[in-house]
Amino acid sequence: MNECYYDKRMDFFYNRTKADTADEWTGPQLIGVLCFGTFFCLFIFISNSLVIAAVVKNKRFHFPFYYLLANLAAADFFAGIAYVFLMFNTGPVSKTLTVNRWFLRQGLLDTSLTASLVNLLVIAVERHMSIMRMKIHSNLTKKRVTFLIISIWAIAIFMGAVPTLGWNCLCDITVCSSLAPIYSRSYLVFWSVLNLVVFFIMVVVYIRIYMYVQRKTNVLSSHTSGSISRRRTPVKLMKTVMTVLGAFVVCWTPGLVVLLLDGLNCTDCGIQHVKRWFLLLALLNSVMNPIIYSYKDDEMWATMKRMICCSSEDKSQERRSSRIPSTVLCRSTDISGHYIEDGIIQGTVCGKGDLGDKGNS
């Protein structure tokens, strides 16, 4: 019967696997890493909070797609928490951690990755449901969207807890990996392959949906005289999602490949030298997503900019709002023209003419 090592500290496992715990991260290097990480984590918290607040504040975002987009921002916010916890429990500190604390550190990262991945998969289903009917938004009810969001986080938490629940090497240290000294190599293979396969499936699905949208849009544009905004809006939403998915795949694939190589016990791949850089690349994904939302979605940018500029001008906002003509406030809420209409409203409320121009671009 194999002996179990639940009472050992992490230095026992790191020393046995000869894992690099970055003992050289001291002095200026450590300070630089902490400053770099702190800056980006603060940006993650602030920017993703703005995305969530924009979806809550703007009634034109009260649709399944944007609820799921807000949940993706929540996953990025959670990733920021995981990175903060990692920053203060990595490097030389890693060897001093207890097994449970190390499981918590890695579990937070795994949960954030799974939440983002499953959320993107659900968005793919939502886009498929709506696009195949040539609608901007699907007919999912708020109850069903709420159920989906709860399910996403339940799956994410479960996947993050799998090693803690038993799929580890604490009772068989001969199968321990080098990057994750108390994770079983078989678990790393399962984890990385599963995520890479889901990546591939989502990329294929989104490419097929995008090609379908382009083909249908071209056909409809030659036979209908409908609003240009209505014909372009589904394409804009698809471009936003595909850009987010592309950034996600680019930022996470290198790290997953490294985990796969470690799981396959590749001792000559030099994975110890690149692991920290691929982790930083994964961190950048949570930084990039809010930028993508605001850059690719004109109305999202307008709403976020209004919240930023008006938060410091509450009194002047009230005076300007009281002078808004009722004809502007009572415009139709038809989704087909929401980019143009909301651009006018945002520009009037904040007194920023460039928002109106941006909404019409």
Q: 150-159 pLDDT, tens per residue?
A: 999 999 999 9
Determine the Cα–Cα distance for residues 359 and 340; give it in Å rounded to an integer: 5
The total of structural domains in the chain comes to 1
pTM here is 0.77
Task: Please check whether residue 344 lies inside any domain of the structure.
Answer: no
* 3-state SS, residue 184: strand
Task: Please check whether residue 293 lies inside any domain of the structure.
Answer: yes
Task: Please check whether residue 3 lies inside any domain of the structure.
Answer: no
pLDDT of 138 over the 90 cut: no
Task: Please check whether residue 260 lies inside any domain of the structure.
Answer: yes
- Residue 343's pLDDT is what? 38
**Residue-wise burial string across 77-112, b where 16 or more C-beta atoms lie within 10 A, e elsewhere:** bbbbebbbebbebbbebbbebebeebbbbbbbbbbb
- Residue 13's pLDDT is what? 86
Domain with 144, as residue range(s), is 10-221+234-309
Task: Please check whether residue 316 lies inside any domain of the structure.
Answer: no
- Residue 357's pLDDT is what? 43
CA 225 to chain centre: 37
